[in-house]
């Protein structure tokens, strides 16, 4: 197995239907997150994005099809082993007990520590680096419950980075962030993929930032694949207008990261 395949997170022909639902939330969808690439899952509300994300993160088990990491189905991975390899940042999370930001981020090291081992120098370095990269280092001793929604989201992303995973799955990681931190997080995730070789997969509603920073994209419509591939092949006016049921124009613009199509509603 190649090194890239050894760290690939992928879903193959995934099908999932919620109890008492009359249609599949995800119907025969395949997606992959390869090392060194930033991949996105796109689509309107109710298209199955978050459900697909949960299937790939192991939070749901598909009715058929396979979700796997490094060629092994997720259900065959021991929990501690897969927690070292794949970090997940969910869309929402309730933390019912008081905890500082630093302690929350440190939870990302638990799969590496075990029940009896204390933090070592490498663990403390990973925690500090993750907080710095997500802009929450100055909040280290603040209570998590006292933070704004955007600050909480950045702290949770930092926890995922502290895990030092080979794959990172994020469900709308910038939904509560203002423009500055939205740009910061997208640049951070692109750097994790391109510089550090992490397989990054994120759900987002921001088509233009996905086009600017992403390498591959899956566009969903009604729980099924509407388009999949590189930016140029997915971000077309025809694809976006059809899936979002609204006419759009698409124009290519130059950015620091290179040229990218940008979507403008008409």
Looking at residue 5, its pLDDT comes to 61
Distances (CA, A) of 159 to 45, 88, 179, 258, 260: 27, 9, 21, 30, 30
What is the token pair recorded at 43?
């689509």
Spell out the residues 6+ positions from residue 11 whose beta carbon is closer than 8 angstroms to its own. 29, 30, 31, 32, 52, 55, 56, 62, 65, 66, 67, 68
Q: What is the mean pLDDT of residues 32-44?
A: 97
Tens digit of each residue's pLDDT (9 = 90 or more) over 192-231: 999 999 999 999 999 999 999 999 999 999 999 999 999 9
The CATH superfamily label for domain 3-93+167-265 reads P-loop containing nucleotide triphosphate hydrolases (3.40.50.300)
Q: What is the mean pLDDT of residues 22-43?
A: 96
Looking at residue 4, its pLDDT comes to 54
Tens digit of each residue's pLDDT (9 = 90 or more) over 250-264: 999 999 999 999 999
Report CA dihedral (95, 97, 102, 104) to the nearest 10 degrees: -40
Lowest mean pLDDT of 5-19, 25-39, 233-247, name the range: 5-19
Count of other CB atoms within 10 angstroms of residue 262: 18
Q: What is the mean pLDDT of residues 21-32?
A: 96
Tens digit of each residue's pLDDT (9 = 90 or more) over 82-132: 999 999 998 777 788 899 999 999 999 988 886 667 889 999 999 999 999
Residue 2: pLDDT over 60: no
Tens digit of each residue's pLDDT (9 = 90 or more) over 137-196: 999 999 999 998 888 888 999 999 999 999 999 999 988 788 988 898 899 999 999 999
Q: For the chain, which residues make up each domain, given as ranges?
A: 3-93+167-265
């Amino acid at each position: 197995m190649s090194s890239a395949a050894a760290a690939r997170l992928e879903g193959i022909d995934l099908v999932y239907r919620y109890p008492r639902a009359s249609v599949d939330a995800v119907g025969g969808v395949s997606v992959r997150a390869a090392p060194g690439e930033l991949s996105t899952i796109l689509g309107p509300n109710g298209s199955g994005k978050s459900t697909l994300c949960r299937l790939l993160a192991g939070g749901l088990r598909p009715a058929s099809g396979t979700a796997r990491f490094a060629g092994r189905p997720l259900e065959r991975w021991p929990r501690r082993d897969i927690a070292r390899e794949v970090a997940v940042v969910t869309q929402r999370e309730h933390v019912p007990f008081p905890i500082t930001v630093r302690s929350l981020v440190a939870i990302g090291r638990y799969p590496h520590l075990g029940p009896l081992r204390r933090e070592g120098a490498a663990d403390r370095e990973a925690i500090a680096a993750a907080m710095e990269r997500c802009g929450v280092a100055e909040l280290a001793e603040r209570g998590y419950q006292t933070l704004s929604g955007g600050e909480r989201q950045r702290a949770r992303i930092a926890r995922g980075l502290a895990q030092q995973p080979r794959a990172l799955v994020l469900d709308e990681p910038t939904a509560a962030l203002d423009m500055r931190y939205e740009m910061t997080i997208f640049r951070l995730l692109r750097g994790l993929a391109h510089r550090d070789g992490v397989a990054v997969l994120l759900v987002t509603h921001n088509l233009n930032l996905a086009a600017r920073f992403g390498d591959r994209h899956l566009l969903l419509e009604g729980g099924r694949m509407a388009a999949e591939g590189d930016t140029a092949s997915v971000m077309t006016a025809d694809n976006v207008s059809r899936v979002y049921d609204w006419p759009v124009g698409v124009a290519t613009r130059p950015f620091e990261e290179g040229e990218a199509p940008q979507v403008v509603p008409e």
